[in-house]
Amino acid sequence: MTALIALDLASVLVFAITGALTAARAQLDPIGFIFIACLTAVGGGTTRDLLLGRDPVFWVADPLPVATAGVAAMAVFFTHHLLVSRLTVLIWLDAVALSVAVAAGVGVAQGLGHPIWTQVVMGIVTGCMGGLLRDVVCNVLPLVLKQGELYVTAALAGGGAAVAARELTGSPIVGLAACVAVTFALRAGSIRFGWRLPSFRARPPRP
């Protein structure tokens, strides 16, 4: 359980920074920074907990995640000008946050006794919903939906790797580590080397 709490808090911190960087690109005020950072930080975990019927939701039981997100937002507000390329930092931090959050989602669902397929789905939900909410609210194209990018695919593969590694080794920690590694490797490959899935191409109707 301690490992899951650490994963949740780590994903909250990194997602909060990505939310604050998005707020900086949108030129929001300090309250806007805090709102977007908190929305991004706890959006995925909140959706997960509501779907799983977890009571109370993780940040309601413990205010530390929201406090962490708020502090991260203010830190970015006062230091974002030091970053040469906020977009590049945002994309890579988002990849890190995705990797950690997917592992946290899988671990929480597994700890509550849910079946394997639910664990994988909750990993995807935890990893993707915060960033999706961030981008929709800030009126930018969500990273989740960018053409052909490995985002949800990376989360799916990471969740599958977590389950497979845990079943093979009998160690939940090995499973979570495998999840983080696989998710980040695929997301990083998409960012750095342009790994893509084939996109739909409409064809003209036959005469």
Whether pTM exceeds 0.85:
yes
Q: What is the pLDDT of residues 40-63, one digit of tens each?
A: 999 999 999 999 999 999 999 889
| CB of 133 closer than 8 Å to CB of 74 | no
What is the model's pLDDT at position 83? Answer: 76
Average pLDDT over residues 70-90: 88
What gap in Å lies between CA 193 and CA 2, rounded to an integer?
35
Closest CA to 101 of 32, 175, 161, 155: 155
Using CA atoms, how far apart are residues 124 and 108, in angstroms rounded to an integer?
Answer: 12
Q: Which residues of 144-159 are buried (b: 16+ CB within 10 A; e: fewer)?
A: beeeebbbbbbbbbbb
In angstroms, the CA 203 to CA 143 distance is 26
Q: Which residue has the tokens 């497979």?
A: 164
Eight-state DSSP code of residue 39: H
**Cβ distance 109 to 52 under 8 Å?**
yes
- Give 80's pLDDT tier (boundaries 50, 70, 90): confident
